Structure 1
């Protein structure tokens, strides 16, 4: 092997190891996994059609996924998990009941996570992937 090929191989190997190390470091989040296990273990939350998930946890701030935000209102999400609500007005009693159920589960997830001693705050992030997987186009930016 000539010196150029040897040096090129070494440099390429170092780059691959660095990229692999960075990827492992960025995806290694055992506390996020623990918090998600806590959410999954809650029977009330586990029975709901949408599973709230911790996306990240850093410096006491937990980012949780949500199926709604200012740019994607709850009634649009609710028509996905409850097809019988499709076309109903936001003020329809069934829609109001479904919104209250969503609020109850979202607050339950928030309370469960905030109950952890190392969690100081919860913020929400629209779950664009879940919505997309269910045939709904939504933007994460409000």
Structure 2
């Protein structure tokens, strides 16, 4: 390798390492890990098949993961965690009860995080990662 190629390669490598370091430091927030430990320590949330997580905290706004949103309603998610609900209509009593359990756990996660002194607001973000990790294709 000639001198120019070696020096060019070193410069590019340093630039890439610098950019990756900057990105990591800019996105790293130890408080998010603290908030997730609060959620993990709650016995009621720990017993639910979906794990609610704080994915970001920015200027008092905590973003929590959710297995549902407008495009991915609860009645599509619930049979994935409770197979006996598969094929039941949305208004079936078992499906309604499962939706109420999901709402209860989602509100519990929200309450635990909103009571933290540095959290003023909660936002919800659809958790694509969960579906991908579990091997469930999204439409």
Q: Fold conserved (TM > 0.5)?
A: yes
Using a 3 Å threshold, how does the CA distance of structure 1 residues 2 and 90 change in structure 2: closer, same or farther? closer
TM-score (normalised: structure 2): 0.91
Structure 2 runs not aligned, ≥5 long: none
Aligned to 1:11: 11
Cross-structure match for 2:49: 49
Determine if contact 1:53/1:65 at 8 Å carries over to the other structure. yes
- Work out the CA distance in 1 between the residues paired with 2:38 and 2:132: 25
SS in 2 for 1:88: coil
3-state DSSP of counterpart to 1:136 = coil
Q: TM-score of the superposition, structure 1-length normalised? A: 0.89
> How much has 1:26 moved relative to structure 2?
3.6
| Number of residue pairs the alignment of both structures matches | 139
Secondary structure of residue in 2 paired with 1:87: coil
| Local SS of the residue matching 1:64 | strand
Q: Which residues in structure 2 correspond to 1:28-43 (within 5 Å)?
A: 28-43=28-43
Superposition RMSD in Å? 1.8
Measure the CA separation in 2 of the matches of 1:2 and 1:134: 49
2:111 is aligned to: 111
